Amino acid sequence: MIEAGGPRRTARVGLAAANPRTAARVRLLAGAAIAVGFMQIACAKVAPATDTTAVRASPPTTVATPASPSTAAADSATQVAMRNVNFYIIPNAALRIRRLRGDFRSLKGGPILFDDKTAFVIDLDYAEIGLNGNDLTTLMNNHIFAYPGAPLKRLKIHTSGSQVVQSGIMHKILDIPFEITADVSVTPEGLIKLHPVKTRILGVNGNDLMRAFNLSLEKILDLSKAKGVTVKGNDLFLDPVKILPPPAITGHATAIRIDGDELVQTFGSIGAKPPLIPPDTSQGAYMYYKGGTLRFGKLLMLDADMEIEDLRPTGFFSFSLDQYQKQLVAGYERTLANGGLLVYMLGVEKLGSSSGAAGPPKN
């Protein structure tokens, strides 16, 4: 990605080679523009940003009196276990689930509706979930800061060793290219803390520049409309469940680490709930649903017992709530002796592949 400041810097190099006096004037004018912008920000008396994001969705506390046994089953939770699943929440952004144990609960009563992402919540008892640079970049640009007048835009995020690097455009009076390198940790409240250790603003030392004008990110950035992001001083705080689009998720982040190109979050504790063992343990990637009532498409499953696997396993199983029907059509299901279902779906990234989908094995 080419930042807005890149071409200008290249132009300066050419000027410097051709005419040192002209290059000096250009640098002086650029510095003056930055100074004027920061002086206007400092005089604007920007109020500290407050987090006005919607309260995290939670299961209803009251349930209507069931009219029949099937309704009672519909209103109960569905236990879930996942392993090695890329769970796509929006196009090009997935929760890279290494392990998950929790429950699916309806927010509207009745069965869990796979066709309505706003109708259920995922309660995490324990989970290890990764987000790579592309996932975070997509979430930042297409969800968290996807509103008119957002203070940050054209964001790009990647990992570097044990740190996270975020670059983009800071919009406040002027559009200013920036790059922030930050340490990552989890607060006792379960928030992801990004603590800047290096800041570059239009190619100069951002820390020195902000100190010179008695500024901080808190004074510069109005994050009141951002989803799940707040700022205090120069530290950014991300609520790991509020920054995500539906379906709603509840859980408490207890640890975070960088593993390769992924920011891996740990929720809860591994012994919070007994293991949920799927019928087929031969595959390393699966989703397993047990109990309650599930509805996907026209299929309604009471007292659910369903395991979903990749039709052509190649590591992680990629699943999308937006495209699961296409994945289902490309695969098949098998009824087990206990009435449960073993469903083989084609990984979402394999849809439309030249090799096509395989049918059920012939006995």
Of residues 308 and 47, more confidently modeled: 308
- 297 — phi, psi (to 5°)? 65, -130
**Helix, strand or coil for residue 98?**
strand
* Amino acid identity, position 169: I
Q: How far is CA 106 from the centre of its chain?
A: 22
Burial 38-49 (b: 16+ CB within 10 A, else e): beebeeeeeeeb
Q: How confident is the model at residue 360 (pLDDT cuts 50, 70, 90)?
A: low
Tokens representing 30? 């650029």
| 3-state percent helix, strand, coil for the chain, nearest multiple of 5 | 20, 40, 40
Classified as helix, coil or strand, 198 is: strand
Evaluate if residue 353 carries a pLDDT over 90: no
* Model confidence pLDDT, tens digit, residues 296-345: 888 899 999 999 999 999 999 999 999 999 999 999 999 999 999 999 99
The residue among 60 and 348 whose pLDDT is bigger is 348
130: CB partners within 8 A, 6+ apart: 95, 96, 97, 98, 259, 262, 263, 264, 265
Rounded-to-integer distance, Cα 147 and Cα 141, Å: 9
Does residue 194 contact residue 164 with C-beta atoms inside 8 Å?
yes
List the one residue out of 274, 324, 318 whose CA is nearest residue 294.
324
CA-closest candidate to residue 103, choices 254, 291, 357, 246: 291
Contacts of 25 (CB under 8 A, 6+ apart): none
Q: Is 64 helix (H, G, I), strand (E, B) or coil?
A: coil
Please report the sign of the dihedral spanned by the C-alpha atoms of residue 190, residue 234, residue 44, residue 227.
Answer: negative
What single-letter amino acid sits at 145? F
Neighbours of 94 (CB within 10 A): 25
pLDDT digits (tens, 9 = 90+) for 131-187: 999 999 999 999 999 999 999 999 999 999 999 999 999 987 788 999 999 999 999
State yes or no: pLDDT of 268 exceeds 80. yes
Q: For residue 74, report the phi and psi dihedrals to the nearest 5 degrees.
A: -65, -30
Q: Is the pLDDT of residue 43 over 90?
A: no
Q: How far is CA 27 from CA 15, 24, 39, 237, in A?
A: 10, 5, 18, 34
> Which of 16-20, 105-109, 186-190 has the highest mean predicted lDDT (pLDDT)?
186-190
Q: Summarize the confidence of residues 255-276 as an average pLDDT.
A: 95
Distance between start and end Cα atoms, the chain: 52
Contact between residue 255 and residue 186 where contact means Cβ atoms under 8 Å apart: yes
Q: Which residue has the tokens 């800071």?
A: 170
Contacts of 81 (CB under 8 A, 6+ apart): 100, 101, 275, 276, 277, 278, 286, 287, 288, 290
